[in-house]
Chains A and B, each alone.
Chain A
Amino acid sequence: MKQKKIRFLVGSLLIVGAIGYLITMGISNTSTYFFTVDELMSQNVSYTGSGLKVKGNVVNGSIERDPNDYLNVKFSIEENNASLKVAYQGVTPDMFLDGGEVVVEGTLGKDGVFHANTLLTSCPSKYEAEKEDGKMHPGALTDKYQEPGLNKAEALPKTTI
């Protein structure tokens, strides 16, 4: 009876051990450091080349698209007076706008340009706005109705289906 118990204990421990091993290996292989722009700039150690996630706000007017390759985008992000140049190849999300909060994932090149392979915009504005509600009184909302996107949509001729 005792022996049986030990055997089951060993069997279970083996499974638990295997899972634990997978988790530790997974963490060490795939983890990425997460910084805001100013945190990244103030690090003493250089993170050039390693996987990074950086959060910041898009600098107004910094978004540049390559006229020949529409999907090639360059922009800068900033946070607390520190800024970082970012190069990104691909479709930008709907909410990628001047001043918007973004998280870029990729590597920092030797030239100081961040090469992003993913570009995430933070949560939909609604939830963002929810945070302000407590402090800001809902009244003056007029500027919310002037979106950059709509002007572009209105520039096109209208039809009806």
Chain B
Amino acid sequence: MNDIGEFTLLVALATALYGCVAYIMSARGNRIDLYLSADKTPFIVWACVMISSICLWKAFLTDDFSLQYVWAYSNRELDTFYKVASFWGGQKGSLLFWTLLLTTYMLVVYFQNRNKNLRVVPYAMAVMLVIVVFFLFLVNFSTNPFERIPLPPEDGRGLNPLLQNYWMVIHPPTLYLGYVGFTVPFAFAVAALISKDLDDGWIRMTRKWTLISWFFLCMGNLFGASWAYVELGWGGYWAWDPVENAAFMPLLIATAFLHSVMIQEKKDMMKVWNMSLILLTFAMTIFGTFITRSGLIQSVHTFDEATLGYYFLAFLFVIIAACTALIIARLPLLKSANELDSFLSRESSFLFNNLVLLGIAFATFWGTIFPIISEAVRGVKITVGPPFYNQVNVPIGLALLALIGIGPVIAWRRATFSNLKKNFLKPVLAGIVAAAAMFPVIPLGNRAEIYTYVTFILCVFVLTSILTEFYKGTVSRMGLKDESAVGALATMTWRNKRRYGGYIVHIGVVLIFAGIAGSQAYGTHTEKHLQLGDSFEIRGYTIKYEKLIAVEATSIKTRIIAQLAVERDGKRYWTGHPEKEFYKGQNQPVSEVDVLSTWKEDLYMILADFGEDESATIKVYVNPMVSWMWTGGWVIAFGTMISMWPDRLEQRRRLDRVRRQEQLFPTPAQE
């Protein structure tokens, strides 16, 4: 079985190599015979990688410890659930998993576009195959998951207990689906550059792909935050760790890309910009992988295998150099058909949104690589931590938040004063009212609290402006069609999925902003060393340490649980059970926190330490509004679903628009 897995990986590499050469030659030489032969490779490559992955999964499920990778990440007593997830628990498996996702995406693209767009698609397939070749090269020759141990040990080392959490099964695949997904729009962009088909065709073909990847990346980030929150037990959800930044930067650039392609679709502008953005997004996914795999930057989850990182770095340079050269070569063909008219217009608000998003991405990038740069330039390693990111990104983030409220309602081309008054009077008034209403009740003692105050005001402003849009649409539809309010709202959203789906995503983003602001400024925490029966107070909660329970959960896991009674206004309100788990075969215990989550605040308890005299050290956090972020995540998911839903009307509208444009500016028909 293991031999099969190893062999199919080699076959996949050879086939992928052949495939990309054949695709390119067939497209350049117009050779249909070669094309037909090349067109078989995506399926073969996918099948080979799939077989290989099944072999690895089977090794995990059958406890085949003759594989070094299985030995290192599993043991006999691991839950089947986690045995499946151990596949991506370490370096080697995660690269194979990446390859599997990449080839699966490639296969879907292949079926979607079979015998269509013969000028562009072969090049796109070739580009994807080149990337597949890179990963197959790695899993074959550098990090082969089928590496054998000559004398198989009796039992494996087991999966790190920190990873034994259901998020382990959800978070990495989600993030990878996002990371890998951007390969598709990137491949089509490069294909458009090579084939000189530089209208918005590649954007339309890959819009769904971009959205799906963006969605997974966004969810992956949020899942990572909640994993850190419930599992790592430090009371926070985001630490600006290089690995987090690595997932955050592509998300920011992809968001900029999602917005600016609208300008290209509607106004035929910003072509070079969009090309650069998608190239940058893809480069960031590779850069992120480089950071996590090289151990070059001190982080909490480095994989510590230096050489592998440099393969990624080399690959990154090749991609950037090749794509920059390609864009420069095609510059004359990428001229914009239109120009920006006014600062006060939808177009320029998109431009500013892009600049701001890239600003946050750049600040994050700079902070992440600053230790390397300072060491190279000054010989001293200088690091920046969360204070840096907060100081820089919070003001820029607030500008972004304001733009979310402005962008969707400001007029296209040029906003007049009456237009501004019509669209912004209500949101601005709502913001002012909110500011006045909150002023007496909100603490404004330090910078964080003032920022939070501003954030809340902006949130009200943005929400009002979005809800007004919904309201206006609904009312006008009710007037026209004689429908009920709910019916009109639903039909209107359904008829304009992209637009209103986007607004719903914006509402989710606003909730996330509010949640971050609230939890960052108004949180509090305390640590207490308690004897049985001791109690203390925090934010109106009285917490009493009642008992310490030791449970032998399984033969390898011992749980030490502290029982804490939480009282509020003299009444028992909740019982918290933070615990520590000790695993056989692991030299550190794992803290399991207990959280009481309400929309107002989270009460978050950690059992930090305990003594043989049954004393315990308890750390308690009160984190306001954290649940708003998770709610915002679900709202984003819902909005993305709506705007991704296939829309026939959208196509008709586009054709109408194209036809109108062709009547105005007759162009020779294509194909």
Contacts and interface: CB of A to CB of B under 8 A. Distances in A.
Contacts of A157: 550
Interface residues of B, number: 80
B392 interface: yes
A46 interface: no
A133 B72 contact: yes
A85 to B, nearest CB: 22
Residue from the set A97, A147, A161 with the largest chain B CB neighbour count within 10 Å: A147
Contact of B381 (A26, A29, A35, A138): A35
Q: Secondary structure of the B side of the interface?
A: mixed
Contacts of A94: 580, 588-591
Interface in A134-155: 137-139, 141, 144-145, 147-150, 152-155
Contacts of B589: 94, 149, 153
Nearest to B558: A153
Given A130-B72, A154-B558, A161-B551, A125 B588 contact: yes
Given A31-B388, A133-B72, A144 B587 contact: yes
Nearest to A47: B380
B529 A71 contact: yes
A138 B149 contact: yes
B381 A33 contact: yes
A26 B232 CA distance: 28
Interface string B338-355: 011101000010011001
Contacts of A120: 300
A70 B611 CA distance: 11
Contacts of B612: 152, 155-156
B631 interface: no
B304 A131 contact: yes
A115 to B, nearest CB: 17
Interface string B601-631: 0000010111010110101000000000000
Contacts of A149: 582, 587-589
Contacts of B163: 126
Interface stretch (B8-16, B112-120, B174-182, B362-370): B362-370
Contacts of B585: 144-145
A27 B395 CA distance: 15
B439 to A, nearest CB: 27
A127 B304 contact: yes
Interface string A100-139: 0001010000000000000010111111111101000111
A145 B584 contact: yes
Nearest to A132: B304
Contact of A22 (B303, B339, B395, B590): B395
A83 interface: no
A33 to B, nearest CB: 6
Nearest to B614: A156
A41 interface: no
Residue from the set B71, B383, B396, B552 with the largest chain A CB neighbour count within 10 Å: B383
A103 B301 CA distance: 14
Contacts of A150: 558, 582, 584
A156 B395 contact: no
A125 B590 CA distance: 12
Interface stretch (A10-18, A56-64, A74-82): A10-18
29 contacts: A1-B339, A8-B351, A12-B351, A19-B363, A22-B395, A23-B366, A26-B387, A27-B366, A29-B388, A33-B383, A35-B381, A69-B529, A91-B617, A94-B588, A97-B588, A124-B588, A125-B160, A127-B160, A127-B303, A130-B91, A133-B72, A138-B68, A138-B72, A138-B157, A144-B587, A147-B582, A150-B582, A153-B560, A153-B580
Interface of B: 68, 71-73, 90-91, 149, 151, 153, 157, 159-160, 162-163, 298-305, 339-341, 343, 348, 351-352, 355-356, 359, 362-363, 366-367, 370-371, 374, 380-385, 387-389, 391-392, 395-396, 527, 529, 548-552, 558, 560, 580, 582, 584-591, 606, 608-610, 612, 614-615, 617, 619
Nearest first, the 7 closest Cβ-Cβ pairs linking A and B are A126-B160, A70-B529, A19-B359, A91-B608, A156-B550, A34-B381, A30-B387
